Structure 1
Amino acid sequence: MKKLQLFNHPVRVNDEGMICLTDMWQIAKLRAESGDDEFLGGREITSIRP
């Protein structure tokens, strides 16, 4: 299995190279809720839901 990290959190990647978008969304949500929301570019986290 391949390894990927987003903001120092692991993101699952299967053997075919498919990335778990749920992991990416949960990491982004945690980061935004912690107050570090610069990566959103001024948008609300709820407006960019998958």
Structure 2
Amino acid sequence: MSDKDSRDSIGEQIQAAEREAAKQRILAQAEAERIPVEETTRAVPDRPWRRRER
């Protein structure tokens, strides 16, 4: 393997590691911002302005 091939291989490994790190950061952020299902399916009481429109 030549020096150029070795550098290319190292560069690809670094890029793969950076992509994986970025992926992990995005997943961690998404998990931190996740809204539990229990909170999204909670019933909302009827609003007074809706009752007037009926």
Q: TM-score range by the shorter chain?
A: 0.3 to 0.5
TM-score (norm 2): 0.31
TM-score (norm 1): 0.33
Higher RCO, 1 or 2 (CA under 8 Å, sep at least 6)? 1
Higher strand share: 1
Higher helix share: 2
